[in-house]
Structure 1
Amino acid sequence: MIAGGSLQASGTRLGLPYGTAASATFNLRHRLAAAGALRELQVGLQRLADHLDAVPHLVDYHRRRHALATWSLPQADWHRLSEHLPERTSRRFNDDVRRNTAAVLIWMEVTQGQSHQAPLVHQARAAAHPARSPLLVSIAETGSQRRNDRAWDLRPIAADLDAYALNLAAKIDQPSN
């Protein structure tokens, strides 16, 4: 939209399927028109676009998502991160599931996306029995436990995962030579 496109085009650039973006736009416009607030939305969006145009260094989340489209947490990095997990950490999920859960958490931080948008989650959903996917179960449980401020399997290394995500984001954001 800021680059001159439609709301639907903006949604697809952010990784939303065109149909989802179009449906959300239709519903938003319909509800705002019924409430007499459509003009206020347009003015607010223009103010936001003007503000973003004035910001010198914007984060290109599209670039980040594109860079991480096929990314997974390297085994060596996971080994370094997971060595700080205490021995008593739950072993409900095997190490590969825990590594992929960590990768989804890192992906979410770098892209500021939701877990259901992560490529590893898409792959798990495309499997023969997605309801039985240990990764999907782990992601759902982790999300619930984090929202409710309860202990979660990777909590002891949460700061390390955040630091890893910041470092990864910085690498992606570096201009190509």
Structure 2
Amino acid sequence: MHIVARTGIASFTAKRRYPRQRPVSFGLHHVSPTHPDSWIDAYFAAFADLPPRSLHHAIAAHLARMVLGGTPTNTNLSEAVLPLGMSRWATSYALAHVSDRLADSGRQAAFDQAIDALAGHLDTTRHELTDYGQRRRALADWSIPATDWAHITDGLPTRLQTSTWRWRHLPWDDRERVLSSVWIWYHATHGDRAYNAHMRRDWTDRGRLKPTAKYVSNRWRALTTRDGLYQALFDRLNTHLSGIARTIDSGGIAGWAVDPVPAPP
């Protein structure tokens, strides 16, 4: 049996038939805004043409809704992601966009089957899954403490010769510390960079990104691709990430000293 709903977004008015969902044994703490590549490769390879962010948001919404139970609708699917720290509005758009693309290509049923297959996998392996909820709580307002940052960057080069007369300078300042903090949070929680505490928009300034958040966005690709001076930093951050993940997963976070991110005004 299917539930018929409308997207509620003016540009996406096609009816959406939601399959009635079955009970699941995994929890919200096993669901994250983005998903491991192994899950995507195994269950969603046929949907590689969909925008990655929209695909991940749609998957997260469906999995979260399964955990919460009840009849799925466009409204409660987008609200199901709120405990994951995700945006209801971004998720609403993602669901509508994915549904529109799948309806045009006749692949909606296949997508629903892929969601169900992934849910079955999570049920079967629930005792082996990462507790992303615990990681989200531990790192909610976290950034690399200044003492740790000094240790991570100790001895890193600050200049790189790019040609005979050109040098690239990169001081390991506070902006780089915030960039690295967001990178660790992103990988530890399988989060969406836009939902990190450092990336909050300044609603006293028409919702614009703050200068540090802009810097993180501008430098993200360079760090991710280990460009130039970021190669050595990347390797050290990977080691730091592994240690943080082990500490959180083992429950050893009581009294953990963190450097909190200032709350928005």
- Which of the five TM-score ranges fits, normalised by the shorter chain? 0.7 to 0.9
- Residue 113 of structure 1: aligned partner: 191
Give aligned pairs, total.
173
- Residue 16 of structure 1: aligned partner: 86
Q: Indicate conservation of the 8 Å contact 1:85/1:154, yes or no.
A: no
The Cα of 1:92 is off from its aligned counterpart by 5.3
Q: Indicate conservation of the 8 Å contact 2:158/2:172, yes or no.
A: no
- Residue 100 of structure 2: aligned partner: 30
Q: Percent identity?
A: 25
> Structure 1 112/30 Cα, relative in aligned 2: closer, same or farther at 3 Å?
same
Distance in 1 (alpha carbons) for counterparts of 2:94 and 2:242: 31
> Structure 1 63/114 Cα, relative in aligned 2: closer, same or farther at 3 Å?
same
* AA in 1 matched with 2:216: I
Which stretch shows the higher mean deviation, 44-53 or 18-27?
A: 18-27
Say yes or no: does 1:159 pair with 2:235.
yes
The Cα of 1:113 is off from its aligned counterpart by 2.4
Q: CA RMSD in A?
A: 2.9
Q: Indicate conservation of the 8 Å contact 1:104/1:118, yes or no.
A: yes
Say yes or no: does 1:3 pair with 2:67.
yes
- Residue 62 of structure 1: aligned partner: 133
- Structure 1 gaps of 5+ residues are none
Distance in 1 (alpha carbons) for counterparts of 2:170 and 2:157: 14
Point out the structure with max Rg over C-alpha.
Answer: 2
- Residue 141 of structure 1: aligned partner: 218
Which whole-Å deviations, capped at 9, do the CAs of 1:33-81 have from their partners, x for residues lacking one? 3332221111111111001111131112233222211111111111111
Bigger fraction of residues in helix = 1
Bigger fraction of residues in strand = 2
Say yes or no: does 1:44 pair with 2:117.
no
Q: Indicate conservation of the 8 Å contact 1:84/1:157, yes or no.
A: no
TM-score, structure 2 normalization: 0.56
* AA in 2 matched with 1:157: L
